[in-house]
Structure 1
Amino acid sequence: MGYGFGGFGGGNMQQLMRQAQKMQQDMQRARAELDEREFTSSVGGGMVELTMLGNKTVKSLSIKPEVIDPDDKEMLEDLIVSAFNDVIAKIEIAEKETMPNMPGMM
Structure 2
Amino acid sequence: MRANPGNMGNMMRKMQKMQKEMQSAQAELEVKEYTSTSADDLIKVTMTGKHEIKDISIDAKVIDPDDPEMLQDLLIETLNQVLTEVDQDTENTMGKYTRGLM
Q: Which has the greater radius of gyration?
A: 1
Shift of 1:14: 1.3
Q: Could you say which residue in structure 2 is the equivalent of 1:67?
A: 62
For residues 53 and 73 of structure 1, the distance between their equivalents in structure 2, rounded to whole angstroms, comes to: 27
CA RMSD of aligned residues (A): 1.7
Q: Could you say which residue in structure 1 is the equivalent of 2:36?
A: 41
Matched, 1:50 2:11: no
Higher RCO (C-alpha under 8 Å, 6+ residues apart)? 2
Q: Could you say which residue in structure 2 is the equivalent of 1:22?
A: 17
- Percent sequence identity over matched residues? 39
Shift of 1:101: 2.6
DSSP 3-state at the match of 1:70: coil
Structure 1 length as normaliser, TM-score?
Answer: 0.85
Task: Give the stretch that moved more between structures: 49-58 or 8-17.
Answer: 8-17
For residues 36 and 20 of structure 1, the distance between their equivalents in structure 2, rounded to whole angstroms, comes to: 25
For residues 23 and 83 of structure 2, the distance between their equivalents in structure 1, rounded to whole angstroms, comes to: 21
DSSP 3-state at the match of 1:77: helix
Paired residues in the alignment total: 99
Shift of 1:102: 2.3
1:76 to 49, 71, 74: 71
Structure 2 length as normaliser, TM-score?
Answer: 0.88
- Structure 1: state its 5+ residue gaps: none
Structure number with higher helix proportion = 2
For residues 73 and 81 of structure 1, the distance between their equivalents in structure 2, rounded to whole angstroms, comes to: 12
Q: Could you say which residue in structure 1 is the equivalent of 2:26?
A: 31
